[in-house]
């Protein structure tokens, strides 16, 4: 194949994993997919009913490029409550609604690159590959800040000589895959450097509504409490996929710096990115209700409480307290483990090294696997037991969870 820019881009981890598994004989057991990120919990019925109520508007009404004022107002009200914002400046004009979180991330990086040919995008490592791919398409060069533990990477490791070239620093808190939250001192350091050197902070907060215990602090909260009431050079991405299990109804938003928001509205206009009215009306209800979100959190809390007992000492796991993932060390090579697990048990897991890049000569995620506990409790329990029995045929869990 002729070498071109487009085929030089990274193949998504899920595609690479499926290609590896295609060489394995199809398992005889039902497949349990722990490799993805989309939640399998049921969405709230009242949101679905609202969507249906406005379905007839399709073909009659366009939904606008940045979202109706009522939707943007609902989102900004939610953000002020969620992060206890003292600043009165955050309102609907700080928000652009999008068709999903991925679109929000992509457009943000494209805009912040500003056509740069020598700019830098700072990335956590491991992380969702969308950051690096969006940066590459925008002409940005990646600088990876790696972690070898379950904690967030240290952005203080960025060499001082690179700070002036940085266009955007990506923060993923809580993090995919390891569930860590960025410490307050790191937030404060990034905010200070952002103002001094002029780069933007992009905070991907897709998982911040899934927690056991205290919620993670977010960028809006940190900016508000660190003398940045206008959220200058701060951009947040969030949405309803994890919060409300609305996988098939793409609804998200990007918010923060008002000058950036103006550019985002122009960007979406040129792309013709209309937001369907049914999606917007349903999203307003989803952001106006916390009851279904609390119930959703309880489901995750139950699964994470069960997992250590389910796996006991065969596959040691711990609760990261944030997000939907178990991030644990495989017995041996992570890719070999994933291939064997699929062939023998029908359970798909994500090898850690597919989510990371070498930093120096070391891939910081080698030997790790990501397990997404996004299914119902019974299915998660069954999948974990299959993995444990594959490792230790004599394995017996210490608990039995009802479906």
Structure tokens at 83: 């992060």
In whole angstroms, what is the distance from residue 100 CA to residue 292 CA? 20
pLDDT higher than threshold 50 for residue 343? yes
Q: Is 256 strand, coil or helix?
A: strand
Between β-strands 120-125 and 95-98, what pairing exists: parallel, antiparallel or unpaired?
A: unpaired
Summarised one tens digit per residue, pLDDT across range 117-164 is: 889 999 999 999 999 999 999 999 999 998 765 567 889 989 999 999
Summarised one tens digit per residue, pLDDT across range 281-335 is: 999 999 999 999 999 999 999 999 999 988 988 998 989 999 999 999 999 999 9
- CATH architecture type of domain 45-288: 3-Layer(aba) Sandwich (3.40)
Q: How confident is the model at residue 372 (pLDDT cuts 50, 70, 90)?
A: very high
Give pTM, 2 decimals: 0.94
Per-domain residue ranges for the chain? 5-42+291-391, 45-288
Instruction: Give me the percent of the chain exceeding a pLDDT of 70.
Output: 96
Predicted confidence at residue 403, as pLDDT, reads 44
Q: How confident is the model at residue 339 (pLDDT cuts 50, 70, 90)?
A: very high
Q: How confident is the model at residue 55 (pLDDT cuts 50, 70, 90)?
A: confident
Between β-strands 252-256 and 95-98, what pairing exists: parallel, antiparallel or unpaired?
A: antiparallel
Nearest to 83 by CA among 211, 205, 222, 190: 222
DSSP code of residue 211: B
Mean pLDDT of the chain: 92
First to last CA, the chain: 49
Average pLDDT over residues 391-397: 84
Average pLDDT over residues 158-174: 94
170, β-bridge pairs: 202
Predicted confidence at residue 125, as pLDDT, reads 93
CA distance readout (Å), 145 to 24, 85, 130, 356: 34, 29, 16, 11
Predicted confidence at residue 269, as pLDDT, reads 86
Structure tokens at 325: 């993932």
Sign, Cα dihedral of 278, 42, 131, 72: positive
Does the domain at 5-42+291-391 match CATH 3.90.1150.10? Answer given as yes
Average pLDDT over residues 11-25: 93
């Amino acid at each position: 194949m002729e070498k071109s820019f487009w085929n030089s881009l990274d193949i998504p981890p899920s595609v690479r994993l499926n290609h590896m598994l295609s060489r394995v004989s199809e398992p005889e057991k039902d497949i349990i997919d722990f490799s993805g990120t989309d939640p399998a919990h049921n969405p709230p019925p009242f949101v679905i009913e609202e969507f249906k109520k406005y379905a007839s508007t399709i073909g009659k009404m366009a939904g606008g490029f940045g979202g109706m004022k009522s939707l943007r107002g609902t989102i900004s009200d939610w953000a002020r409550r969620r992060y206890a914002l003292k600043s009165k400046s955050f309102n609907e004009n700080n928000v652009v609604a999008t068709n999903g979180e991925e679109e929000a991330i992509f457009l943000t990086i494209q805009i912040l690159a500003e056509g740069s040919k020598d700019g830098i995008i700072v990335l956590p490592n491991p992380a969702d590959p969308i950051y690096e791919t969006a940066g590459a398409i925008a002409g940005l060069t990646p600088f990876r800040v790696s972690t070898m533990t379950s904690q967030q990477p240290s952005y203080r490791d960025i060499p001082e000589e690179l700070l002036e070239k940085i266009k955007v620093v990506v923060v993923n808190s809580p993090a995919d895959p390891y569930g860590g939250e960025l410490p307050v001192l790191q937030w404060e350091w990034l905010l200070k450097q952002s103002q001094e050197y002029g780069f933007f902070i992009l905070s991907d907060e897709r998982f911040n509504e899934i927690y056991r215990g205290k919620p993670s602090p977010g960028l809006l909260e940190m900016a508000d409490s660190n003398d940045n009431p206008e959220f200058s050079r701060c951009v947040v991405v969030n949405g309803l996929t994890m919060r409300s299990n609305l996988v098939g109804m793409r609804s998200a938003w990007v918010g923060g710096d008002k000058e950036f928001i103006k550019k985002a509205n122009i960007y979406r206009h040129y792309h013709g990115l209309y937001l369907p009215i049914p999606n917007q009306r349903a999203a307003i209800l989803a952001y106006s209700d916390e009851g279904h979100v609390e119930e959703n959190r309880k489901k995750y809390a139950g699964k994470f409480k069960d997992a250590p007992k389910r796996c006991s000492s065969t596959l040691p796991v711990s609760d990261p307290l944030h997000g939907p993932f178990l991030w644990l060390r495989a017995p041996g090579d992570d890719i070999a483990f994933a291939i064997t697990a699929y062939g023998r048990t029908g359970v798909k897991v994500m090898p850690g090294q597919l989510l990371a890049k070498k930093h120096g000569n070391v891939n910081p995620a080698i030997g790790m696997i990501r397990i997404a506990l996004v299914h119902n409790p019974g299915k998660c329990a069954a999948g974990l037991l299959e993995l444990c029995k594959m490792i230790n045929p004599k394995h017996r869990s210490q608990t039995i969870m009802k479906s």
